[in-house]
Amino acid sequence: MPLFFMLEKFESYLVAEKRFSSHTVTAYLKDVHQFLDAIGIVLLEDLKEVKHSLIRSWMVTLIEQGIVNRSVNRKLSTLRTFFKWCVLEGILESNPMMKINGPKSEKRLPVFVREQDLNTSKLDMVFSQDEEGKRDRLMFELFYQTGIRLSELIELKKQDFHSCQIKVLGKRNKERIIPLSNALSKDLEDYQKDLHKNVKASEYLFTLKNGDKIYPKLVYRKINYYLGLITSLEKKSPHVLRHTFATHMLNNGSGLETLKDILGHANLSATQVYTHNSFSQLTTIYKQAHPRGYKKK
């Protein structure tokens, strides 16, 4: 079997069996190609010569190039999936990743926007009232009020929206229902009415004027621009609004299990990272609970 054909089969496996998103599949294939190119694999037979020592040397090279540990671990995760699949397919007899441990990842707290920077009056001054401004404002509000991912927003269809709720197709094609505020629900209804008048018919909620589905770079660029107008944060992306949603929910009394379900996390550990961000809430509780936490009058 030629090497390129084997990689096509691996891609089909990621899509059909692992049910990864197109974004994840692209990232996995990029990582595998990078690894194979780096160690000089050009024939399928060459894969049998890959040992754990070779993978470890490649990992060290990445670190020496300045690749952060988190990114290195992501690439190693890709290789674990790839070589495990190779064993299942009978391409390899043993998995060279079995003896590989990745570098310790740095613990980074998610970046979020302050609540006062997202008040309605401030946002009213940021977004224009024309067709494009209304669309951008709605995308911004959906990110902030629901915590959905960029890929999930792009895939939203008109039929996914019902009164005060949306159905989201998350990672590995897992569906979840997210409630909407009355105001956001009304904005969505109005937007769809205007969309029917001014944009070519499409099943997708957010489209270009020709009816084509909106694309990731455009959404990222828009959110980056608007966040730059209201905050001085270095990171400005749709995912920052997802972090902001989660942090504000916890600060205002949401339970972790509820937040886990809304965010579409597979396990609670992914949600618990946001508890570190609730510093304002922790400060308030500390001042109230500790006898020296506040100055007595």
* DSSP notation for 173-198: G-EEEEE--HHHHHHHHHHHHHHHHH
Q: Average pLDDT, whole number, for the chain? A: 88
Pairing verdict, β 165-169 and 175-179: antiparallel
Active site residue 19: no
Of the residues 75, 135, 149, 236, only one is catalytic, namely: 149
Query: pLDDT tens digits, residue range 100-133?
Result: 999 887 667 788 999 999 999 889 999 998 888 9
What are the helix and strand counts (H, E) for the chain?
13, 3
Domain topology for 115-284: hpI Integrase; Chain A (1.10.443)
* SS3 assignment, position 15: helix
Tokens in use for 76?
């190693």
Known active-site residue 191:
no
List the beta bridge partners of residue 221.
Answer: none
The continuous run of DSSP H or E covering 262 comes out as: helix 256-263
**In angstroms, what CA-CA distances link 285 with 2, 16, 112, 271, 280?**
63, 48, 21, 21, 9
Q: What is the mean pLDDT of residues 187-199?
A: 79
**Residue of 94 and 195 predicted with greater confidence:** 94
Q: What gap in Å lies between CA 198 and CA 154, rounded to an integer?
A: 19
Burial class of residue 84 (count of CB atoms within 10 Å of its CB; 0-12, 13-18, 19+):
middle
- Does 243 qualify as catalytic in the annotation? no
Superfamily of segment(s) 3-99: Tyrosine recombinase, N-terminal domain (1.10.150.130)
33 belongs to the catalytic site = no
Nearest Cα residue to 169 out of 117, 137, 130, 204: 204
pLDDT of residue 297: 46
Q: Which two tokens stand for residue 250?
A: 């916890």
| 28, 144, 226, 274: the active-site residue | 274
Residue closest to 113 by CA, chosen among 238, 215, 217, 284: 238
From the candidates 242, 243, 248, 260, which is the catalytic residue? 242
**Is 265 a catalytic site residue?**
yes
CA pseudo-torsion sign 225, 229, 231, 232: positive
Q: Is the pLDDT of residue 167 over 90?
A: yes
193 is catalytic: no
Catalytic choice (23, 48, 157, 171): 171
Instruction: Tell me if the pTM is above 0.85.
Output: no
165: which residues sit within 8 A by CB, 6+ positions away?
177, 178, 179, 180
Alpha carbon of residue 146 to chain centroid: 13
Domain boundaries, the chain: 3-99, 115-284
Q: Per-residue pLDDT tens for 22-79?
A: 888 999 999 999 999 999 888 888 888 899 999 999 999 999 999 989 899 999 999 9
- List the Cα angle 76/147/237 in 5-degree steps: 65
